[in-house]
Every structure is written in C-alpha cells, then in structure tokens.
Amino acid sequence: MTDASRRVLIMIAAVAVFLVLAAAIAIALIDVNHYKPQIEQAVKTHTGRTLRLKGDLGLSIVPALGITLPASSLSVRGSEAEFVSFASARVTIALLPLLRQAIVVESIDVVQARATLVRHRDGSIRVDDAPDQPAAATAPEAPAHPAEGTAAGGESANWEVGRLLLSDATITLRDETGGQTMTLSVIKLETGRLAPRSSLPLSLAGHLESTSHKLAGEIELTTKVDLDLAASAVAATDLKLSFAGTREQQPLRTSITAGRLSRQGEAISAAQISVRADGKRATDDWTMAASSTGFTFDKEVMSSAAIEASASLAGAQAGAPSVDGHLTLDGVNGSAASMRAEQLVLTARRRDGTGKLQARLAGPLRASIDDWTLAMQRFDGQITIEDPLLPEGKAQLALAGAMQIDARQERIDLRLASSATDARLKGTIQIKGFGKPEIGFEVDAERLDVDRFLPRTRPVAGKAPQVAGGIAGQAGTAATTGAATRAAPTDSVPARASAPASALADPGVDWSPWRDLRLDGRLQIGQLQARGIKARAVRARVRSASGRSTIGPASAQLYGGTASGGLTLDAQDKRMALNLTLTNVELGALARDAWNRNDLSGRGNIELALTTGGRSRTEMTRNATGTAAFALRDYALVGIDLSAVLGQVKGALTGGGTQSGKIDRSKRTVLSRLTGTITLADGVARNDDLEGAAAQLGLLGRGQFDLLSNNLDYTLRVTVTANPVQNSKLLTALVGITVPVHVSGRSDDLRYSISLTDVAADAIARRGFGVGATVIEEAEGFLGRILGRGRKK
C-alpha cells in the first residue's frame, strides 16, 4: 500500500470519527423530548389516533442509531379509547444504509404490548372500532399517503427489519356475536429478517384462555414465513401449531401441521395441512384429526383434490367402548358463496367388546362459507351391526335421505327413509341450537323389527328370568306384568327379611342424559317387534324439556287386546312415574314372546300405576309406591298343582297333620278366574285380596314379596266347593273345608307346606267321621276323581 493510499484511508477514518463525534455531540445537546408534542400532534393529524408518550424519549448513536420509547398508548381512530399500548420499546437503526436512502432497522423490541380486537356481529374484525363503543362518526379523515410498503412514487420502499421481538404481550379478542372473550397473554414473539420481500423464521409462545368451553392452556407456533408485499403474498412452510391445556376442566391437546400454507391476494392454498386434537373426559379419551391436499381458496374460486378428517373416542379404562370416524371430500370446487363437492363420504365405527357398529353416508355436497350453510340434496347410507347375540350375528339397514345445515341459525333438517324388510319407514328430524339442541321428529313406519338390530340375551327355554320365575317371580314382577298376583298370602305376615350381606354392589342410576334433553316428536308404527313383544298400530308422543321427559299418551294393539299408558321421568328430582293398562290381553302369548315361557296361559286385564325415584336401583326399589290390579281368566298358576297337594291329605293326616314339598315349575293349576290388587311400598309388594276359582275349588290368598331380599311369604287358602250332582256323605264332610298352603323362601328356592291338623281333621271330626284308614282312602280317591289329578298313594 502506497503512502497516498494510507493517507486516504486515514482521512476517511478521521471523517467517520468526526461524524460520529458530531452526531454524539448533537444528540447530547439536542433535547428530543422537546419534540414530543409535535410527534403526538403529527400522529393525530395523519392517522386520527391519539398517541400518548408517558415518559422521556431516549436517543443513542453508538453502536447504532437507537430510539427508546417510554410507556405509550395509541387510541382507536376517532376515539380516545385505547387500542394498543406497551410498557417500553426500542428501535435500533443501522447508520450507514441511511447514506444510500435505505432504512435498515436492526431490531424492534417491544415489552408488555397490549391490544384489544372486536369481532362484530357481522363476523368482521375491525381494529378501527373501540372495544366498548363504535368509532365516532366524526372521525377526521386521514390525508392521502402512500400505502404501507410502497414509496411515494408507487415503487417498493427500501426497508428491512433485522429482528422483531415482543415479550410479555397480550392480545384480547372480544366476540360480540356470542359474548365470548379470548385472551392470548405472556406472548413471546420473535422473527428473523423482515423486508418487503424476505424469508424469515418465526416463533410464538403464550398462554391462551377463552370463556367459550372454559378453554385454558399453552400455545406454541413455529414456522418459516416467505413474504412478498408487492404481490400481496405470504406463505408459511413447515408450520407447527400446538395447544396443551384444558377444555371444560378436562385435559386437551391439539396440533396443526402444514407442509405449505400460502395466501396471495384473496387466495389461500395449502399443499398439505393436517389437524389433530387429543382430549380426555371423565370416562373417555378422544382424538380428532383432519387433513387436506392441494387445497386453494379465494373470493371467487375454491378447489381441492381431497380433504380428509378423522376422529376417535376411546374409554379411559381397558375394554371400554371406542368410537372413530372418517370424513372424505373429493372434487371440491366453487367459491366461498357456493362450494361443491362431487362426493362426501362419512364413516363411523363403534366397538364395544365383541359388538361392532358401523355407519356410512355418501353423496354430493353443496355449501356456502359466506352463509355458513351445507346441504346434501340426496345421500345413501348404511348401518351395519355385528354381534354374536344378534339373531344372525349381523344386521344391515340401508337408508336414503337428504340433509340441510344452517350453522349461523344453528339448525339441521334431516329426512330419512328405509325400504328394508325389517325396517320399512320414513321420518324427519329437526335440530335447533348446537349448544343445547332442541330436537323434533316424526317417524312413520309400516314395519319395524327392533330385535333385528338390537342384541339381547334370551332366557333358556323352560326357565324364566329370575324376576318372573315361579310363584315368587310372579309376585316380584307385579309392578311390570301384573302376574305377581299368582302368589299367595299369609294370615300373619312375619317381619320382613333383611337383604343378604353378599348382595352385589348397587349400580347407580344416571339421570344426566335426561337433564338437558329437549325433544318433541311422534311415533306411528304399523307393526312393531321389540324385545320379543309384537304390537300393531303403535302410537306415541315423546316430549322432553327442563329436565322432564314424557312418553305418552301411548297406545298399541297386542295379543288380542290393547295397551295404553305413559312414562314420565323427572331428572331434576330423580323421579319417574309409569301408568300402564292392558285390556283383554292373551298373557300366554305375551309370556312366550317376552320371556320365552311356554307354561303360562290366560287372558285378562292389568292396571299398573307406579312411582319411584332415587340415585341407585336399591333406592328406586325401596322408594317404589303404587298399585297393580288384575282380573284374569283361564289363568295358569305355575309351580304348584293344588289338586295334587290336596291329594296328599292322607300323608298329612298320618304324618302328624303336615306335608311339605318343593315348588316345581313343571306343575300348574288352571284357574277359571283370578283377581286381586298388589300394593308397593318400602320395597315390598303386598297382596291381601287374592281371589280365584278352579273346578270345585275356591282360592283366597294374602302375603308379600320382598323385592330387596328376594323373599316370598304367601299363604293360599284352598276350599273344596259343593257339587250339586254329588251328595255322598264324604262330599258332605269335605265341602267347605279350607286347606292352607304356605309358600315361602327365595324365588330360586321356593317350598310349600300344608297343615291339616287344626283345619281338615277338626272339620271332618265335627261332621261325624273318624280319621281311620278307610275314610282316608275314600277321601283320597274322591279328591282324585273330582280334581282329576290325585292318585292313590
């Protein structure tokens, strides 16, 4: 290097040092706070906003030009209401680029920025409106000035920001449409180099809270952003957005990933985007996921090769039911005002042990993003059920229909129809309100076989369910079938037995599904089969509101007679009431279809009025009150053959006046008539007025059945009646004799006993007959002849 060169470099360095010193001296001598009023007035004049600088400005030059702002705030346009504020800010500007008319902001650091945005009832978000009041109509009009990012001549301005950093910032969004508030606080935002055209990394973290669904948790965002302000284009690649927190106080995790998401002008496109949400409820874990490939959207045109979404719900415990669903949209095109999809396919599956349920719906779709509407003018669907307990192990139901959804009005209209052999029906469903839906429906079915689609465990042939088994079972089911009247009472009822200590854990009763249910609909079914019971001309009204649900008035024709009644559930008070009237119903056919029993017969009337309530089955059993009245004819009393029991008079007289045996379901007594009333109270079904008749037999009875301990204590009083054709001395001795038959024990181990010592023997003695062997054998033979079942022992 020559001496001349050295001298030039020394001169340049000296000039630079001089300029720096001069600038430092100027900064030291100039009081920048002197210009605060002018700065605030300039902002007011050019923007219509009020700037408040609440402290001293700071200015430095080494190592770069730095401007420090104190705690400040900026108002809404045309109002004094605060729009944004910050505790402090510092802007650092490179000096040398200023010489070539380039603005290079090395960094912008803002501490504790605060801003409030308002989403108005029309769905728009405008930052120029005050949070608590609309913008003043007299707001001063801002003078024309170059658009952001352009120079006065219309060319792109030459500027850049090396780094933007927000720390401890807060943004609040208030939604006027739903009265909800969302707040993102403790924000830390950091970007790389910003310029009219640049590519920069961006990261954001903060705490999100929303009054909607009580949402709270941490949010994180990382991505790479490509900017081109001249073309109004922005793109994000490798975008990852996640949330971890709670929703309705239940854990929730969500994530959104996008390979590339871009916006140019009014158009938005995504090469690939996926959404996932994982949550936990008290009884379930659930997951939702969605993805889209080749998606573009602008004000005029929308298209996508395919959009997919999925969701799953699994029980928190092993073996609990699980549900998952999948949505596919193909051939999406159109505009925000009118979007079309060539095909929508929605599938849902539910697994519960060995049972599986799958539903599928497919058809073309029309939608409007502007109007928040969706319509399927036609669709085809199918429901498939697989379960070993189904009649054929599998059942399918094909459906067709149409659907319209108006999200803004929160309304869904659905039409369904099926031409299946076991479910020929049509119906409409209307849903209003998504938060607390109000559901209306009309169903008109020519034929509906519910058993074809619902798994059930049928009793083994010849064995009735425990509640309907034998005499005790008949008493135990009085509240639901009226057959309880077949049991027989005692003269002196002993103290009620307590429930066994080995009783199973008492299952609770969940009233919550009925608490918020709002339902109003009608059912009309020509032929119905449900749980084995067959009915015709079924009519029912279903209503539910304010925690009170009613099914009724309901009516049907079944088994040669009619049924009518209603059911009321009060979820607030945890109470229910049932009224049921069966008129001229063939009970044998009903028992055969409902319980697979072939040992019953008879026809008659039953009237049931029952109320109960509680939080468990035990409470509901103990709290049950009501009556069941019955009047039956040609009725079979199962479990005991009264003719055979009376034929045991020989054994009773020679065996000390008593005889006992076990109830045998293969035996029965056919009664020409049977009437009585059962009352329910404190978990006990009691009957005191049983009256019946068979051939040359009269029958009275009284007693009780303990529903909690499953114990029966009942006495039948059987009387031999006169036969006008017969006039033997033996008949004269037996007419009017009453034989007590005491039945007791648990319903699965019933026994009977008879005692003739104090009744039959005394009655015969009073009529002048001894009790010797000859009389006994003659009596036995006579009883066998008139009752048709006695045999000589």
Q: For 78-117, give the DSSP string.
A: TSSSEEEEESEEEEEE-SGGGGGT-EEEEEEEEES-EEEE
**What's the whole-number mean pLDDT along residues 210-218?**
86
Judged against a pLDDT cut of 80, whether residue 122 lies above it is answered with no
Asked if the model's pLDDT at residue 299 lies above 80, the reply is no
Provide the token pair at 52. Answer: 């408040």
pLDDT for residue 462: 39
DSSP, res 597: -
Measured distance CA(413)–CA(219) in Å, rounded = 37
Counting runs of H as helices and runs of E as strands, what totals does the chain give? 12, 40
Q: Which residue has the tokens 């300029």?
A: 19
Q: Based on the number of CB atoms within 10 Å of its own CB, is 702 exposed (0-12), middle (13-18) or buried (19 or more)? A: buried
Nearest to 82 by CA among 141, 39, 129, 140: 129
Percent of the chain clearing pLDDT 70 (strictly above): 73
pLDDT digits (tens, 9 = 90+) for 274-286: 888 888 776 677 7
With residue 696 as reference, give the H or E element that holds it: none
Q: For 598-730, list the strands marked E by DSSP.
A: 603-613, 625-638, 658-662, 668-681, 684-694, 697-706, 711-720
Tell me which of 127 and 255 has the higher pLDDT: 255
- Report the alpha-carbon distance of residue 74 to residue 51 in Å, rounded: 5
Q: pLDDT tens across 308-336, in order?
A: 888 777 766 666 778 888 888 888 888 87
Q: Sign of the CA dihedral 34, 37, 42, 47?
A: positive
Higher pLDDT, 489 or 156: 156
Between CA 282 and CA 276 the distance in angstroms is: 20
Pairing label, strands 159-161, 164-175: unpaired
Summarize pLDDT for 758-776 with one digit per residue, the tens: 554 555 555 444 444 444 4
Coil, strand or helix at 305 = strand
Structure tokens at 648: 């045991």
- DSSP track, 532-593: TEEEEEEEEEEEEETTEEEEEEEEEEETTEEEEEEEEEETTTTEEEEEEEEEEEEHHHHHHH
User: 3-state DSSP call for residue 257?
Assistant: strand
Q: Which span out of 121-125, 417-421, 692-696 was modeled with the highest average pLDDT?
A: 417-421
Question: CB atoms < 10 A from the CB of 731, how many?
Answer: 17
pTM assigned to the model: 0.63
For residue 711, the model assigns a pLDDT of 92
Instruction: Classify residue 231 by burial, with Cβ atoms within 10 Å: 0-12, 13-18, 19+.
Output: exposed
Rounded CA-CA distance 380/748 in Å is 51
Q: List the beta bridge partners of residue 580.
A: 565, 608
Give the per-residue pLDDT at 495: 40
The string over 74-111, giving b where at least 16 C-beta atoms fall within 10 Å of a residue's C-beta and e elsewhere, is bbbbbbebbbbbbbbbbbbbbbebeeeeeebbbebbbe
Q: Is 314 exposed, middle or buried (0-12, 13-18, 19+ CB in 10 A)?
A: middle
Name the nearest CA neighbour of 474 among 465, 463, 486, 464. 486
| Alpha carbon 34 to its chain's center | 67
pLDDT-wise least confident of 70-84, 353-367, 454-468, 620-634? 454-468
- Minimum mean pLDDT range among 34-48, 289-303, 350-364, 455-469: 455-469
Average pLDDT of the chain, as a whole number:
76
Higher pLDDT, 82 or 18: 82
What number is the average pLDDT over the span 673-690? 93
Which of 266-275, 465-474, 492-501, 604-613: highest mean pLDDT? 604-613
How far apart are alpha carbons 688 and 690 in whole angstroms? 6
| pLDDT tens-digit map of 639-672 | 777 766 655 554 555 555 566 778 777 787 788 8
Q: What is the pLDDT of residues 152-188, one digit of tens each?
A: 444 445 678 888 899 999 998 888 766 788 899 999 9
Q: Distance from first CA to last CA of the chain, Å, rounded?
A: 145
